């Protein structure tokens, strides 16, 4: 009995290696990553008797993606937001890619919208994203994402996307659908894929213009965005970004104080310069941004918001490791309190 068992065990072992290799050839490829954004801020609110100092875990994410076949992939990402102390599913999508010109996504993901929404805080040039009342004001289910289906394709210099979506509190539970579309032209280097960056830190010479629109239930939102990203030989890299957006009954940000408004519109311009010299383990970048937004009040005068930001960024490994010292100044008219905020932020990804 012992010798028979030994022969069976050896036979099974002989097949173990080829069986594992065959499984590896057919098993889906899976990648896992993570990202963290954390900061210290000191905020002075106009009219307040004392400043507010906080250490915050602004965001923590887990990224999971896998390849089912050569044409089918799956994306699953989570987000912890320090504001509500919850972990949420932000991306859960099946992606069918048949060619550069024909891609279908279904599930939850970033819909066609402005460049700012398509790069988000982790791939933005500046630290204080989405505080100016302009960028990323399209309505969403969670963290800029909506549930739906979308087509997108790349045609030479043109990238086109269009989709139909549901948004909690807006179109879910009734017959309304949110329709979204975007057209982008890349006049210099192309941007591969659907998602975008706020800068390429000199890796690309980019001159891009995008137009996006969404409509639901007779309400509309529009935006036009621009990005110039240029490496200056041995003299560093320069970035210029701008956007104008109009939230015509759809999306937008409410002004402070709970004031009722019907629509808003505004724009911003951002400029950044990264020095070519390596200092320690990274490079320094200077950045400035200015934005204005006007809220059309239902009762009373319209409200104007002005937001300025200045950053000193230390770029260690582009978006995977960087430190930002930032100052953000927000002002409102008609006696609404603004604020001034100093801070230091750290971002790491793998």
How confident is the model over 227-250, as a mean pLDDT? Answer: 95
At residue 202, the pLDDT reads 92
Among 282, 280, 269, residue whose Cα is nearest residue 201: 282
The per-residue pLDDT of the chain, averaged, comes to 90
Name the least confident of 29-43, 176-190, 298-312: 298-312
Tell whether the model's pLDDT for residue 118 goes beyond 90.
yes
Tell whether the model's pLDDT for residue 66 goes beyond 90.
yes
At residue 12, the pLDDT reads 38
Distance CA 56, CA 169 (A): 29
**Dihedral over alpha carbons 230, 191, 106, 36 (to 10 degrees):** -40
Cα–chain-centroid distance for residue 119?
3
More confident residue, 72 or 300: 72
Distance CA 35, CA 218 (A): 38
Question: What residue spans define the domains of the chain?
Answer: 32-349
Name the least confident of 129-133, 173-177, 183-187, 225-229: 173-177
Q: How far is CA 227 from CA 30, 57, 270, 311, in A?
A: 33, 29, 9, 18
What kind and span of H or E run contains 8?
A: helix 2-26
Tell whether the model's pLDDT for residue 89 goes beyond 50.
yes
The CATH code for residues 32-349 is 2.40.160.10
Strands (E), 82-188: 86-99, 102-109, 146-155, 158-166, 178-186
Going by C-beta distance under 8 Å and a sequence separation of 6 or more, which residues neighbour residue 278?
none
Per residue in 330-342, pLDDT (tens digit) is 999 888 899 999 9
At residue 266, the pLDDT reads 95
Per residue in 136-175, pLDDT (tens digit) is 999 999 999 999 999 999 999 999 999 999 998 888 888 8
How confident is the model over 198-203, as a mean pLDDT? Answer: 96
At residue 254, the pLDDT reads 81
Contact criterion met (CB below 8 Å) for 277 and 314: no
At residue 14, the pLDDT reads 40
């Amino acid at each position: 009995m012992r010798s028979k068992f030994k022969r069976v065990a050896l036979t099974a072992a002989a097949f173990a290696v080829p069986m594992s290799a065959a499984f590896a050839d057919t098993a889906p490829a899976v990648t896992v990553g993570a990202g963290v954004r954390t900061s210290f801020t000191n905020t002075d609110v106009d009219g307040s008797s004392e400043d507010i100092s906080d250490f915050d875990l602004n965001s923590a994410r887990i990224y999971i993606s896998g390849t089912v076949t050569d044409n089918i992939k799956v994306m699953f990402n989570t987000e912890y937001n320090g504001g509500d102390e919850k972990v949420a599913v932000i991306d859960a999508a099946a992606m069918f890619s048949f060619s550069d010109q024909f891609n279908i996504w279904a599930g939850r993901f970033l819909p066609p919208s402005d460049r700012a929404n398509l790069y988000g805080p982790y791939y933005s040039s500046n630290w204080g994203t989405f505080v100016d009342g302009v960028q990323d004001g399209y309505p969403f289910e969670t963290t800029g994402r909506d549930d739906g289906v979308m087509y997108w394709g790349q045609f030479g210099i043109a990238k086109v996307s269009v989709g139909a979506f549901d948004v909690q509190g807006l179109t879910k539970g009734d017959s309304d659908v949110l329709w979204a579309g975007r057209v982008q032209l890349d006049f210099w280097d192309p941007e591969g894929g659907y998602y975008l960056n706020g800068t390429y830190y000199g890796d690309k010479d980019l001159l891009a213009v995008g137009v996006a629109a969404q409509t639901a239930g007779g309400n509309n939102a529009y935006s036009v965005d621009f990005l110039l990203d240029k490496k200056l030989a041995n003299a560093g890299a320069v970035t210029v970004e701008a956007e104008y957006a109009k939230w015509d009954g759809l999306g937008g940000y409410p002004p402070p104080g709970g004031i009722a408004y019907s629509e808003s519109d505004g724009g911003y311009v951002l400029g950044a310069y990264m020095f070519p010299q390596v200092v320690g383990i990274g490079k320094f970048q200077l950045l400035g941004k200015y934005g204005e937004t006007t809220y059309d009040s239902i009762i009373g005068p319209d409200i104007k918001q002005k937001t300025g930001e200045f950053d000193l960024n230390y770029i260690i490994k582009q978006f995977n490791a960087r430190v930002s010292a930032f100052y953000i100044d927000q002002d409102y008219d008609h006696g609404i309190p603004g604020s001034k905020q100093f801070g230091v932020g750290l971002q790491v990804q793998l």
